[in-house]
Amino acid sequence: MDFLAHLRRQFVYDGWANREVYAGLKRAAQPSARSLRLLAHILSAERLWLERIKQQPQSLPVWPESSLEQCAAQMEEIAELWHEYMEQLSPSQLADKVLYKNTRGEPWTSSVEQIATHVILHSAYHRGQIAAQMRAEGKEPAYTDFIHAARQGLLA
């Protein structure tokens, strides 16, 4: 499998894992404010990075206040936007440089490959925080391990 195909599969996994976390929070009936804030941040950051790649203005705050319903709508939209972007991307474009300013206004340059990898790892990190938060509350978090999704054939 080439690296671009690998990244595309990672974004399929990411969308699935975000939906699983959402479903887990919904089952919890009243998700904690922290868990909801983390999910909203995951989705906002995924959008922000895609906007940076496309040289579009930032449309959401990095740490938005969102309801579970708003997260659901955002989640499906951002998964589709990343899917569309990754499908049109060529292997050579992974090395393209993206110039942007971070949330502190500092200028940076990163490759598309670095950004895509960051998005996947950043989201997984925060999904882990949500799982830990839910366990601390005595709730069962979503099972979002990559290997579970792969074994179930959910990434084809």
* pTM score of the predicted model: 0.95
Mean pLDDT of 100-119: 96
Two structure tokens written together for 36:
């909801």
Is residue 66 a part of any domain in this protein? Answer: yes
CA separation for the pair 67, 105 (Å, rounded): 28
Residue with tokens 């904690």: 32
pLDDT digits (tens, 9 = 90+) for 36-45: 999 999 999 9
Q: What is the pLDDT of residue 30?
A: 86
Is residue 156 a part of any domain in this protein? Answer: no
CATH of the domain at 111: 1.20.120.450
Q: What is the pLDDT of residue 140?
A: 94
Q: Catalogue the long-range contacts made by 71-78 (C-beta closer than 8 Å, 24 or more residues apart).
A: 71/22, 71/36, 71/39, 71/40, 71/43, 72/22, 74/40, 74/43, 74/44, 74/47, 75/15, 75/18, 75/19, 75/22, 75/43, 78/43, 78/46, 78/47, 78/50
CA separation for the pair 119, 46 (Å, rounded): 6
Q: How many structural domains does the chain have?
A: 1
Burial (CB count within 10 angstroms: exposed 0-12, middle 13-18, buried 19+), residue 97: exposed
Domain that holds residue 62: 3-151
Is residue 64 a part of any domain in this protein? Answer: yes
Q: What is the pLDDT of residue 1?
A: 61
What does the CA dihedral 18, 47, 78, 69 come to, rounded to 10 degrees?
70
Question: Is residue 50 a contact partner of residue 77, using CB atoms and an 8 Å limit?
Answer: no
